[in-house]
Structure 1
Amino acid sequence: MTSAAREHRLSTPDGEICWFEWGEPTGRPSVLLLHATGFHARLWDQVVAALPTGTHVVAPDSRGHGRSGKPDSLSDWAATADFLLPLIDRFAETTFVGCGHSMGGYILTRLAAERPAAFQHLFLIDPVIMPSEFYPVVEQPIPDPAEHPVARRRNRWDGWEVMNAHFSARPPYAHWRPEALADYCRDGLLPAADGEGFELACPPALEASVYLNALRTTPHQWFGRIAAPVSVIRARTGERGGALDFSVSPTWPGLGAALGAVRDEQWGELSHFIPMEAPERVAELVAAEL
């Protein structure tokens, strides 16, 4: 696919949605791509490049990420998903093949439950959805994001090239396609508020709040409203070395069965960062449903 990305903004009561578009609606299904925690829409560029020429693609920055509106915290993944409903409604005449990675997969299930007619197929790429008993049944206090290790991430950079060089030899980024890491760095920085250098487009404290509230709202409550066929793709399994160890899959192995998935596969040679390690394989999967 050779068309250039076009950047758009959509005002909503909960803040501005920044979204990117490739191609034009054709009457055939379009593709909706939803990114993971701490990332941004343009990290899909390598997947988009491998899609068939003429494919219409929509990829938003989730709330608090990229160039979309930034609240003080992101305390509920369901609300983070609902933030994107106005974008789905903007394409009311369009049917999507949805593909969501990590948090984006969780968000995709919510969007598909709220707008079941909008989706032809859902690809959940290691969507960090847990068994129902992992989700609390009562409201829990919101933890302080400053206490989470992600809040201490380096936020200030002199430029994306410096960031790229810093991460290129460090796991997990060392295992990504170099082009994907460059996409992450190039579009993952915004000019700093004080005019000196650049800062992460998803502020570390905001990203920390996403991790801290991952289990606040159970998606199992809306699984029954999903009408589209579902494919679940999981990374290799193994003992995780902590909550931030993504060398293996963080996704519940029973998710495919719980959703009645038409495809439930483990891509055992890949880590959780499947779209960054095998973008052509992801694109081939999505293209088969177009």
Structure 2
Amino acid sequence: MSSARPDPVTRFYPTGGIALAVHEWASHGDGVPLVFAHATGFHGRVFDAIIARFPDHPAYAIDLRGHGQSRAGPIDDWRIVARDVGEFLAQAGLSGAVGIGHSMGAHTLLQVAADAPGRFARLVLFDPVILAPEYYAAAETAFTADNPHPAIRRKRDFASAEAMMERFRARDPYDLFDVRVFEDYCRHGLVPAASGEGIELACTPEVEASVYASSRSNGAILEAARAVEIPVLVVRARQTNLTDFKSSPTWPELARILPQGTDLHRPDMTHFHPFQDPADAARIIAGFIED
């Protein structure tokens, strides 16, 4: 697998009232298409270091609604994000792809696989935000407009990508990230500020907070999982508690309810596994594609 690949072309697909940005790499071979979906607060280009290792596969890295170049407001239902992805796949004419998702992106791809059979032939889900049944049966989140999720307090304005790197490089959890992934996150995670001066986070604090606050919005995801009749690899990191962003949020029994589910427990990794060790994540993906 190579470590270099040309920059992608970014295309925009009309989905659910927004323009969904998808970064697309052409293939040098005849490999199956790879479709990547990222975690909350990030964007599609955090997968560059992994995609570089698959030159024989066309690759598509989505900026999910409200993230990266997919400009949108706060999110109150995760199923809207899945509908965006399903509409993109239909417009692009993609079928039989391998979906690779991380965190909220992994939740999204599993829902898409249930909604649109045939679009995916396999899924690799790194620490999907899919929790135990009792989580979805509980009362709605305490976060409201008057009491928003703490992510809303994130610093949004930066003088440059380099200034963002300098601020976060030594901070938890960014100090865990592979150097290239961290720099890609910063370089591609900023847009011109709405004020017209300087640059700011592409995923605004309001959007990021809304995603966390609506994490119980798709309680049907467990029923959807039971309907996904393709091989699915669930890669779980170490699990401590829900207040720790480095802890796995994934229900340990998830793979058991998937008709063709496989569980890979990696307690040596945190929730940021694809960012910590993109080479290891690529090895896992390659092994599952070739299985």
> Is the shorter-chain TM-score for this pair beyond 0.5, marking a shared fold?
yes
CA distance in structure 2 between the partners assigned to 1:65 and 1:84 by the alignment = 13
Which among 14, 30, 36 is matched to residue 39 of structure 2? 36
Q: Which residue of 2 aligns with 1:180?
A: 181
Q: Which residue of 1 aligns with 2:88?
A: 87
Percent pairwise identity: 34
Q: Which residue of 1 aligns with 2:75?
A: 74
Pairs within 5 Å for 1:32-181: 32-51=35-54, 53-71=55-73, 73-136=74-137, 143-144=144-145, 147-181=148-182
Q: Which residue of 1 aligns with 2:26?
A: 23
> Structure 1 regions of 5+ residues with no counterpart?
none
Aligned residue identity for 2:269: L
1:67 is displaced (CA, Å) by 0.6
2:251 is aligned with 1:249: no
Question: Which piece of structure 1 moves more, 161-170 or 1-10?
Answer: 1-10
CA distance in structure 1 between the partners assigned to 2:15 and 2:84 by the alignment = 8
1:82-129 deviations in whole A, cap 9, x for unaligned?
112111102335321111000001001111011111111111100021
CA distance in structure 1 between the partners assigned to 2:16 and 2:255 by the alignment = 34
SS at the partner of 1:190?
A: strand
Q: Which residue of 2 aligns with 1:233?
A: 235
CA distance in structure 1 between the partners assigned to 2:66 and 2:111 by the alignment = 18
Aligned residue identity for 2:92: F
Q: Is the 8 A contact 1:231 1:263 kept in 2?
A: yes
Q: Which residue of 2 aligns with 1:201?
A: 202
Pair 146,50 (structure 1): closer, same or farther in 2 beyond 3 Å: farther
Aligned residue identity for 1:231: L
2:267 is aligned with 1:265: no
1:246-288 deviations in whole A, cap 9, x for unaligned?
2221211111112245421111211100110111111122223
> Structure 2 regions of 5+ residues with no counterpart?
none
1:122-150 deviations in whole A, cap 9, x for unaligned?
11100021112211488889722762210
Q: How many residues are treated as equivalent by the alignment?
A: 285
Pair 224,250 (structure 1): closer, same or farther in 2 beyond 3 Å: closer
CA distance in structure 2 between the partners assigned to 1:261 and 1:252 by the alignment = 16
Question: Which piece of structure 1 moves more, 22-31 or 135-144?
Answer: 135-144
CA distance in structure 2 between the partners assigned to 1:276 and 1:154 by the alignment = 21
SS at the partner of 2:123?
A: strand
CA distance in structure 1 between the partners assigned to 2:234 and 2:70 by the alignment = 27
CA distance in structure 1 between the partners assigned to 2:147 and 2:196 by the alignment = 24
Pair 145,279 (structure 1): closer, same or farther in 2 beyond 3 Å: farther
1:30-60 deviations in whole A, cap 9, x for unaligned?
1000000010000101111122x22110111
1:14 is displaced (CA, Å) by 2.2
CA distance in structure 2 between the partners assigned to 1:77 and 1:199 by the alignment = 24
Pair 37,152 (structure 1): closer, same or farther in 2 beyond 3 Å: same
Q: Is the 8 A contact 1:43 1:180 kept in 2?
A: yes
Q: Is the 8 A contact 1:145 1:151 kept in 2?
A: no
Pair 11,93 (structure 1): closer, same or farther in 2 beyond 3 Å: closer
Question: Which piece of structure 1 moves more, 99-108 or 86-95?
Answer: 86-95
1:177 is displaced (CA, Å) by 0.6
CA distance in structure 1 between the partners assigned to 2:109 and 2:28 by the alignment = 20
1:81 is displaced (CA, Å) by 1.1
TM-score, reference length from structure 1: 0.92
Pair 25,92 (structure 1): closer, same or farther in 2 beyond 3 Å: farther
Aligned Cα RMSD in Å?
2.1
Aligned residue identity for 2:19: E
Aligned residue identity for 2:117: P
Q: Is the 8 A contact 2:229 2:260 kept in 1?
A: no
Aligned residue identity for 2:255: G
CA distance in structure 1 between the partners assigned to 2:250 and 2:213 by the alignment = 16
Aligned residue identity for 1:41: G
Q: Is the 8 A contact 1:75 1:142 kept in 2?
A: no
SS at the partner of 2:118?
A: helix
